[in-house]
Structure 1
Amino acid sequence: MVNARLTIKQMQEVFQSSPIFELNTRRIAIRRQLRHRPDDSVLFKALHATLRDKVIRLAATDGVFITYSAYDAVFAADLDADLTGHQVKSTMGAYDRSKSDMMQASIRATMDQSNVLLLIISESSLRDMNVIATYEYFWNAGKIIVPIMFEPCNIDHLLLGVAPLDFYDQWKHGLRRLHHLVSAKS
């Protein structure tokens, strides 16, 4: 009888051979430096190099996580439905500290499985503690964060490295660009 259990070391070897794991690790290091030197153009260039379209597309094959404020819920639901229609696995939510421990664990497990966060940007979302907690979770994990500009806002302080997709002035263009980034068909 063969033992089907994997040791922790074997699991680490599998994950460490993943290009996504390697790039997430690189982004973690760059983002830590950016916290101390947010105007360093060399660091932003290095961060941008880890966020090429094909990298985002590869990372999105595991699914994307959409975070939004209550104000943006209808837009988020429309976006989720559109992505599902394009065979993109997407989950809507936010890390909510007010939920039960079991609910938090479920949300965190879903966030752990997703390598791409679609961060819906609005004045409301930038004030929403749950949206910010979700952003920080993905940011600290070195995962890809794609900003979806629902309302014009200043997001320079977020240190994203990815230009926001404009859904405020250019809905169709933003949607085409999003499909290009996260759809396997592109």
Structure 2
Amino acid sequence: MAFALVKKAIISNPQGLRKTAGIFCNAARNHWNYQYKPGAYPQTPEERAAAAKKYGLTIEEYQPYPEHMGYGDYPKLPDIGADSKDPYYPYDSPEFKRNFNEPIHMSAELYGEDRYDISMRPRFSLLHQWTWFLGTLAGSFALFFFLEDYKVGRPVTAKQYPWNGPHYEFCTPKSE
């Protein structure tokens, strides 16, 4: 019903599309700018309970960042990347694996599905990675030093300086 009214308004009024787009953009822009701004760091249990309710968490789940970090009452969420979340859960926003009003991690730009996932175990241990890295460097330097006397390259004539004797001149012959 509402879609039909919007479609009719757009068709009947040439300015309708611009006005409708402006309304939707303004509604989307004004939705989260001020609502997700963290408040002051909670000092009392009542402020802590209010902050937990604000972010949709229980009082037991709510843990703010330390006060010296400057994040206010924003909750300290577990470090779980989007790639580790259940892919079959019916999320409200499945492309981001998020539900409506779910708080975003403070470092969300690091934990997206196309980025680093801190909760996953690495494929190779750190010792294994360092061994391959240093082994590759050592092998390259060993080849360089052992094969230094066996250089391969194109043959080049010695430099021809004027004081070393007669040389050919590659130009047109002089007329006599």
In the superposition, the TM-score normalised over structure 1's length comes to 0.23
In the superposition, the TM-score normalised over structure 2's length comes to 0.24
Higher RCO by CA contacts (8 Å cutoff, separation 6 or greater)? 1
> Larger % of strand: which?
1
